[in-house]
């Protein structure tokens, strides 16, 4: 009588390879998911413009109405990660007789008590444009990420926090 051949050692090896590949795939998926769910590193770090006249100082007050952001609008979009991304856009206006070579802007989403839910500060000039000439305008867009869907988003603000002149 002929004896059927069995490949038990080969089946054992194949089973071990499948298990090891499954563990590696699960670890790789966990690492990718970890990096996707982390908040962006630039959302909490405020950009500061060197040599700027800052909001809240006496030197800034004469320029408060002359250098401003108007026509602020926002679009929001939910992400698969469970948070909301908002893009705030407005128009930076220079109604002074001086050329601006540095402009720092803070965009924020606030709740009903005017408390910031999430905010971001970014240097607009010279990063996006070298200068802003007197009596000229430029478009400004800032993206705010990581807003919880449960957050009370009552209003948006975009304001100049620092300005530097030539």
Q: What is the CATH number of the domain that holds 98?
A: 2.60.40
Q: Residue 92: what pLDDT?
A: 94
Query: Would you tell me how many other CB atoms lie within 10 Å of the CB of residue 76?
Result: 14
Are residues 67 and 131 both part of a single domain? yes
Q: Where are the alpha helices (DSSP H) in the chain?
A: 8-37
Point out the least confidently predicted range of 47-56, 62-71, 152-161. Answer: 47-56
Of 49, 36, 69, 46, the closest CA to residue 118 belongs to 46
The C-alpha atoms of residue 121 and residue 147 are separated, in whole angstroms, by 15
Task: With respect to residue 44, please indicate whether it lies within any of the assigned structural domains.
Answer: no
The C-alpha atoms of residue 69 and residue 160 are separated, in whole angstroms, by 7
The C-alpha atoms of residue 129 and residue 25 are separated, in whole angstroms, by 45
Are residues 82 and 136 both part of a single domain? yes
Q: How many CA atoms lie within 13 A of 26 on its CB side?
A: 6
Residue 39 in this model has a pLDDT that exceeds 90: no
Are residues 111 and 146 both part of a single domain? yes
Residue 11 in this model has a pLDDT that exceeds 90: no
Is the pTM here over 0.75, yes or no? no
Domain that holds residue 64: 53-165
Task: With respect to residue 45, please indicate whether it lies within any of the assigned structural domains.
Answer: no
Q: Residue 4: which pLDDT band, with cuts at 50, 70 and 90? A: low
Q: Residue 46: what pLDDT?
A: 54
Q: Residue 42: what pLDDT?
A: 47
């Amino acid at each position: 009588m002929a004896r059927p051949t069995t490949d038990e050692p080969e089946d054992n090896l194949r089973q071990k390879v499948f298990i090891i590949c499954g563990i590696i795939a699960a670890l790789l998926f966990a690492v990718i998911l970890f990096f996707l769910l982390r908040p962006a590193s630039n959302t909490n770090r405020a950009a500061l413009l060197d040599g700027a006249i800052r909001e809240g100082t006496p030197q800034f007050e004469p320029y408060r109405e002359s250098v401003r952001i108007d026509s602020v609008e926002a679009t929001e979009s939910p992400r698969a990660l469970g948070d909301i991304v908002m893009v705030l856009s407005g128009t930076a206006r220079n109604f002074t007789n001086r050329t601006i070579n540095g402009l720092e802007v803070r965009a924020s989403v606030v709740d009903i008590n005017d408390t910031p839910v999430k905010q971001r500060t970014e240097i607009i000039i010279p990063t996006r444009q070298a200068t802003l000439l007197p009596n000229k305008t430029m478009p400004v867009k800032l993206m705010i990420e990581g807003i919880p869907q449960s957050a009370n988003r009552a209003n948006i603000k975009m304001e100049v926090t620092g300005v530097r002149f030539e």
